[in-house]
Amino acid sequence: MFFCVLSLHDSPIAAEEFKKLSSSQIRRAFAAMEFTDQVHWVERYGADGTLTTREMGKTRVGTWRVEDDQLCVDLGKDGGRGCYEVWISGNKVELRVPGSSAYPAQGVLQRPNR
């Protein structure tokens, strides 16, 4: 049994380590990039602060900014608004609501497909 515990710990199945990004790291990571689940939705973060989302055939346009080490989005009253901690591991990203145990939004950051 001791051997099994060691082999699981050293295996690639071990949990990935996510690190929280600072304000400057968030700006560099998201400007001119897409955050997507690669199937159902995509969020495009323009370098000028514009945010365009597509989900289930519906497009929304709003803004994004970085404030107090959080990514803040505003898609108006119909699309919602909020601020999130950004946690990253490679190109995998989680947007977590500070102080909440809610399941984070998960996806990948990638260059926009044009």
Of 3 and 63, which is predicted with more confidence?
63
Q: What does the alpha-carbon distance between residue 24 and residue 3 come to, in Å, rounded to a whole number?
A: 43
pTM of the model: 0.82
Domains of the chain (ranges; CATH) run 15-110 (2.40.128.360)
- At residue 33 the predicted structure's pLDDT band, cuts being 50, 70 and 90, is very high
Q: What does the alpha-carbon distance between residue 1 and residue 37 come to, in Å, rounded to a whole number?
A: 38
Residues 33 and 112 sit within 8 Å (Cβ to Cβ): yes
Query: For 32-47, what is the mean pLDDT?
Result: 96
Flag whether pLDDT at 7 surpasses 80.
no
Q: What are the tens digits of pLDDT across the range 43-86? A: 999 999 999 999 989 999 999 999 999 999 999 988 889 999 99
Indicate the residue type of 106: Q
What pLDDT was estimated at residue 42?
Answer: 96
User: What angle (nearest 5°) sits at the alpha carbon of residue 109, between those of residues 21 and 90?
Assistant: 60
Indicate the residue type of 48: D
